[in-house]
């Protein structure tokens, strides 16, 4: 189902149509608006340049988050591999203990 909502970004109204719910689309639009407003408040640039710089800031955040999530996945994979190795060592140690106990 498609949802249609009108949002305000940098003083301009935009109609969005998406599968996501209205609250999500408002959240996304609010984030974009905040990034553009941040640039416009701290720089003496046109609305177009502010929008472009805001988009670049969002892209920068996105790529940094992707890298962070990849690092977390890699770290999790390493932890899982280590846990598997330790389980195997524990099983081997239990077998050795069982052999030693049965030799008595």
* Cβ atoms within 10 Å of 26's Cβ, excluding its own: 15
Q: Which residues contact 39 (CB under 8 A, 6 or more apart)?
A: 45, 50, 53, 54, 57
Q: How confident is the model at residue 92 (pLDDT cuts 50, 70, 90)?
A: very high
pLDDT tens by residue, 25-35: 999 999 999 99
Whether 104 shows a pLDDT value over 80: the answer reads: no
pLDDT tens by residue, 42-82: 999 999 999 999 999 999 999 999 999 999 999 999 999 99
Q: Of 22, 6, 4, which is closest to residue 14 (Cα–Cα)?
A: 6
Global pTM value: 0.75
Q: DSSP string of the chain?
A: --EEEEEEETTEEEEEEESS-HHHHHHHHHHHHHHHHHHHHHS---HHHHHHHHHHHHHHHHHHHHHHHHHHHHHHHHHHHHHHHHHHHHHHHHHHHHHHHHH-
């Amino acid at each position: 189902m498609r949802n249609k909502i009108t949002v305000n970004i940098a003083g301009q109204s935009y109609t969005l149509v998406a599968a996501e719910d209205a609250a999500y689309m408002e959240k996304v639009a609010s984030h974009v608006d905040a990034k553009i407003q941040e640039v416009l408040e701290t720089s003496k640039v046109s609305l177009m340049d502010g929008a472009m710089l805001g988009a670049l800031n969002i892209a920068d955040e996105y790529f940094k988050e992707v890298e962070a999530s990849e690092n977390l996945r890699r770290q999790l994979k390493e932890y899982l591999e280590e846990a598997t190795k330790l389980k195997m060592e524990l099983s081997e140690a239990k077998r050795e203990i069982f052999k030693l106990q049965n030799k008595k």
